[in-house]
Amino acid sequence: MTKLALAWPVRDKSADRKGASAVRGRSDGKGRIVGRDLAMKFPAKAGPVVALDNLDIEIQPGEFLALLGPSGCGKSTLLNLIAGILKPTSGTISIDGAEVEGPNPGCGIVFQHHSLFPWMSVLENVAFGPRMLGHADPVGSARTFLSLVGLEKHAKAWPSSLSGGMQQRVGIARALATYPPVLLMDEPFGALDAQTRSIMQDELLKLWSQFKTTVVFVTHDIDEAIFLADRVVVMKTLPGGIKREVRIDLPRPRSPDIIKSDRFNTYRSEIFELIREETLKVFQSRD
């Protein structure tokens, strides 16, 4: 039995099978996200800002989806709608058929800057979610997840004593420790140096191949999006919505060398052009 299967209250038997990393989605089939005709307007002094309009999206259980687009196009807004932190002005969003009506423990969230509780040890930060949900052994689960992100030796440390990359790893362990069907990540590696970032991407893919949670990953980095995702959604601006989806047909498991391949280059050029068109629109609208 894997460490993961021991840690989670709902044991994912498929994770025990040899070669299970190739299996798409969790054995309970959870993690389907469906957004229909979503719109989000924010009040502002100069008139309402239409952050999103007419947005339809469907994300399959276990899919790794990356959201790319110019600054202000509504990526974080969409993530917050899925998390139930924001309520859409119109339209609906559902996870596994249940409409999202408020913050939902079925979504783990990792932000750009860690949001660990500074007054709790690293171990207690990771144990917090399982404890709140009444799991049988929150500290045991926390230890398992810390070891999965390679930080078991830092269990007693305060978050402030860790480097930025280590803090983000604790954030990922904390988000996963409740076995959420959906993991939402908003530029989680944006503040890290290039080397640490590349290692974190690799580690995230290894973890994802075990936990099989649906991931919605926001980034500004085209290579990061292609390297990680099954599908890259490029958003348009003014108002935000989906401009184009690009399915990333690269074999898994992916090694960092894949970014040198011809196919990767083709995806990079295609997506670069799509984002450039949208970014130019933002600048033209300011003239």
Ligand X SMILES: Nc1ncnc2c1ncn2[C@@H]1O[C@H](COP(=O)(O)OP(=O)(O)OP(=O)(O)O)[C@@H](O)[C@H]1O
Which residues of this chain interact with Mg ion, rule CB under 5 A?
A: 76
Residue with Cβ nearer Mg ion (3 or 113): 113
Min dist. Cβ of residue 35 to ligand X (A): 14
Q: How far is the CB of 193 from Mg ion (least distance, A)?
A: 21
Minimum distance, C-beta of residue 125 to ligand X, in the bound complex (Å): 25
- As a residue count, the chain comes to 287
Contact at 8 Å (CB) between 123 and 155? yes
Q: From the CB of 76, what's the least distance to ligand X, in Å?
A: 3
Query: Which residue's CB is nearer to ligand X, number 244 or number 254?
Result: 244
Q: Rounded CA gap, 228 and 117, in Å?
A: 28
Tell me if the bond preceding 253 is cis, omega within 30° of 0. yes
Distance CA 9, CA 92 (A): 30
For residue 180 the two structure tokens come to: 């959420």
- Residue type for position 189: F
Instruction: Specify the residue, 244 or 252, whose C-beta has the smaller distance to ligand X.
Output: 244
CA distance 269 to 250: 15
CB of 69 to ligand X, least distance (A): 6
Phi, psi of 85 (to 5 degrees): -75, -35
CB of 197 to Mg ion, least distance (A): 17
How far is Cα of residue 237 from the mean position of the Cα atoms in its chain?
Answer: 21
**Residue 277, token pair as written in the block:** 């068109």
In the complex with Mg ion, the residue whose CB is nearer, 74 or 159, is 74
- Which positions ≥6 away from 129 have C-beta within 8 Å? 105, 108, 138, 174, 175, 177, 178
- 129 touches ligand X (CB under 6 A): no
Closer by beta carbon to ligand X, 23 or else 49: 49
Contacts to ligand X from residues 75-94, by CB under 6 A: 75-77
Please choose which of ligand X, Mg ion, none residue 77 contacts, taking the beta carbon within 5 to 8 angstroms, the exact cut-off set by kind.
ligand X
219 binds ligand X (CB under 6 A): no
Residue 49's binding partner among Mg ion, ligand X, none (Cβ under 5 to 8 angstroms by kind) is ligand X
Give me the helices (H) in the chain, please: 3-7, 75-83, 122-132, 138-148, 164-176, 194-211, 222-228, 262-286
Closer to Mg ion by CB, 155 or 232: give it. 232
| Number of shown-chain residues binding ligand X (CB under 6 A) | 12
- Residue 239 binds which of Mg ion, ligand X, none (CB < 5-8 A, kind-dependent): none
| Token pair listed for 4 | 């993961």
Stretch in the footprint of ligand X (CB under 6 A) among 44-52, 170-178, 209-217, 255-263:
44-52
Is 42 an interacting residue with respect to ligand X (CB under 6 A)?
yes
CB-CB contact of 2 with 19 (8 Å): no
Q: Which residues bind ligand X (CB under 6 A)?
A: 42, 44, 49, 51, 69, 71-77
